[in-house]
Amino acid sequence: MTRPRKPQHGLALVNAIFLLVVLAALGAYMVSVGGVQQATTTQALIAARVNLGAKSGLEWSINRVISPSPPTTCFSSPTSFALSGSGLQDINVAVNCSATGHVVGPTTYYVYYLTSTATHGTAGNPDYAARRMEAAVSNVPN
């Protein structure tokens, strides 16, 4: 004589718990990926702003040594300033200048070596960025 089988219960519960764990892990992964994407976008924006800050410092220094007539010496170096304007808050720029004179016939020509360094934030923090640009300009005619 065979015994009648009892129906099995609880298999659906095991499947439901497994599915819940998998979905929770997938949700946690999606949240972490979203946070990384946001941080990457923010850091790229800060890097672009700092790059523009270094470029503006270099252009400012070129303007100082070339316009209206080139001086025989550089401006006081280093010169530091904070940028203002839309999107450039918290960008600090330091500009250095050195000049050398070269005598060609009766005329002395000057070569100016310019360095512009822009920073945002404090070194060691996640939002820290720094860019450095250099240029050499002179008053030698073309």
pLDDT 10s digits, 33-84: 776 677 788 888 888 999 999 999 999 998 888 876 766 677 777 888 888 8
Maximal CA-CA distance, the chain: 126
pLDDT band at 94, cuts 50/70/90? very high
pLDDT at 29 > cutoff 70: yes
Q: Which two tokens stand for residue 3?
A: 């015994």
pLDDT at 141 > cutoff 80: no
pLDDT at 131: 95
DSSP 96: E
Cβ density class 47-67: b for 16+ within 10 Å, e for less? eebbebbbebbbebbbebbee
Q: Mean pLDDT, to the nearest integer, of 132-136?
A: 95
pLDDT at 13: 80
pLDDT at 107 > cutoff 80: yes
Average pLDDT, the chain: 84
pLDDT at 1 > cutoff 70: no
What distance in Å separates the CA atoms of residue 17 and residue 34, rounded to the nearest whole number?
A: 26
pLDDT at 132 > cutoff 80: yes
